[in-house]
A and B are shown apart, each in its own frame.
Chain A
Amino acid sequence: MRWCLALLLCGFLAAVNALSSSGSRLLVVLDESTDQSAYSTLWSDLKGRGYDVSFESPKSDKLSLFKHGARAYDHLLILPPKSKGLGPSLTPKNILDFLNKDGNILLALSGRAATSSAISSLLLEVDIQLSNDRSSVVVDHFNYDTVSSAEKHDVLLLQRPGPLRPDVKAFFNGEGVVALPRVAPQTLGSESNLVSPILRAPATAYAYNPKEEMPAPEDIEATGSQLNIVSAMQARNSARFTVLGSVEALEDQWFSASVQAPGGKKTTTVNREFAKQLTAWAFKETGVLKVEKIEHHLATDGEVAPENLNPKIYRIKNETVFNIEVSEYSYDKWVPFEVPGNDELQLEFTMLSPFHRLALKPVGRTETSTIYSTKFTTPDQHGIFSFRINYKRPFFTNIEEKHEVTVRHFAHDEYPRSWDISAGWVWIAGLWSVIGGFLAFVLVWLYSAPATDKLKKTQ
């Protein structure tokens, strides 16, 4: 029992020390033939950020993503294998299972050799397509490195990407150029809203298979910025699947290579920073949202007593206040979450369909979170309602909150008294004149009664 507790404590400590918000066990899958030392800066960077990196060959018998039905690793980095597939323990199904169990995956491709069909079918599962021949390379005659690929033009020099949309936070931006040698291009399916491009090829780029003739125009599927160099899929459980087109960009030699764009000056690449941003996002060090606290109560002046917080029941037309604290994970700590750009966090008050959809405004912040709040009047409809937050944005983990409350109708003594409504005075007067008339009638009737009886008797 005691050692069990100690183990639990150790587990908690490990979780606290881990820099990623979702664990530190990182498995790197790479061929034995691949030179592990070519990426030594990447490994030391990852270890320096707190990852517990282990290496396995895809053909290894010991390699298994699961142990006793649970994930054996938190994150998976797959380098392109030289062989045909990824082996029996890394079938597309296994990898998707890993994703379904909240594991994050960074898959690197290479344009040097044809991508294996196993990887291609895995990518199809997440609605990312490779070129038909699976061995194309992105070429750009305007943004290439004149130092290393003066002839082939297949080392792209690109700026780091800004925000995808004005209302999406930029996780990969910054100064400097990134060198991306021999990129295997991807195209994104239009049906899935879970995939989003991280880095697109420039408009002047195209995909080209060096081993074949130039394809006929009708065979070209995508050109220019339709080609993605880095793309991401964030599943509904917020697990991340990132595809990097050029594995060579992670090599030591490109981390601080000296490059020169045509007509430009000689600069050093910022691949190291970009690799840090990319792995940090892929392994959930950035863009992770957490709801700290949710409070709702009746609108009152001043403090709300704790027993009046989060009541189970409201009445129709109650003035209600809703507060939510949201934190964002940034590399090693939780920071207050700021809604990017002109985007807004919204609260829905729903019964089957939303009766209110309101923007939550930041009203304060704590050390680690921002407090968003809104005030509204419950609708004139009683029933079981729920406060809902449904915030799903590219590159942020999903926030889905649902808190049920009952909304009751007015109690019998909660309606305004009749005389408070001046429009009803006429009818009140009518009612009381009927009652007054009745009393007067009864009195007169009783006065007139004895005489009648006496006369009757005398007859």
Chain B
Amino acid sequence: MPAKRHAASTNTSAAVPVTPATLSSGPTTLKTNASAVAIAQNVWEQYVATTPQRTLLLDAFMAFLVLVGGLQFLYCVLAGNYPFNAFLSGFSAAVGQFVLTASLRMQTSDSGSTLSSKPSSKGKNARFANEDNEGQGSGISHERAFADYIFGSLILHFFCVNFIN
């Protein structure tokens, strides 16, 4: 399963079941006077076809977090903020997790799509990038980024659970 998506992202394009028009090289098949719906559909198809599987997973999780955070905020607006610490804790857990996940996405998704990009220097972890013998091409290895992400998330969860009492 993952192999299929990976194949799409690395421009091999032979095993892609969708129409050959939707290659990752660009929306060449879209006409200049296409309707807005067609453009949106094209963008979506491009996104689904060209995004690596892990980035898709990240995006799904972030959408879930936006949903959870939005629902909590809506409930606070409608029903009042009585145990205010519970609201702060629940809402900031969603927001914080979203921020952490977005960071993880920034650190992992660039090397997946563009191998030729020069080493970025994001954050202070950039100088450790060369220590990874894998040499992902990005500033930081995926494993390192993921470990940081888990570490940050655990701290966030600890604080939120403690604060909600």
Contact = CB atoms under 8 A, between A and B. Distances in A.
Nearest to A450: B2
B3 A451 contact: yes
Interface in B8-57: 10, 52-54, 57
A431 B160 contact: yes
B54 A428 contact: no
B97 A421 contact: no
B6 A435 contact: no
Interface string A419-459: 00101101111110111011001101100110110010001
Contacts of A415: 165
A450 B9 CA distance: 17
B80 A438 contact: no
B3 A431 contact: no
Contacts of B89: 427, 431
Nearest to B154: A438
Contacts of A445: 54, 57, 146
A452 B134 CA distance: 13
A418 interface: yes
B138 to A, nearest CB: 13
Contacts, number: 98
A424 B72 contact: no
A417 interface: yes
A444 B61 CA distance: 11
B99 to A, nearest CB: 12
B57 A418 contact: no
B150 A442 contact: yes
Contacts of B97: 434, 437-438
Contacts of A452: 2, 6, 52-54
B71 interface: yes
A449 B68 CA distance: 26
Contact of B83 (A424, A430, A438, A459): A424
Contacts of A433: 68
Contacts of A430: 68-69, 71-72, 90-91, 93-94
A459 B115 CA distance: 12
B106 interface: no
Given A431-B164, A434-B68, A438-B157, A448 B61 contact: no
A125 to B, nearest CB: 61
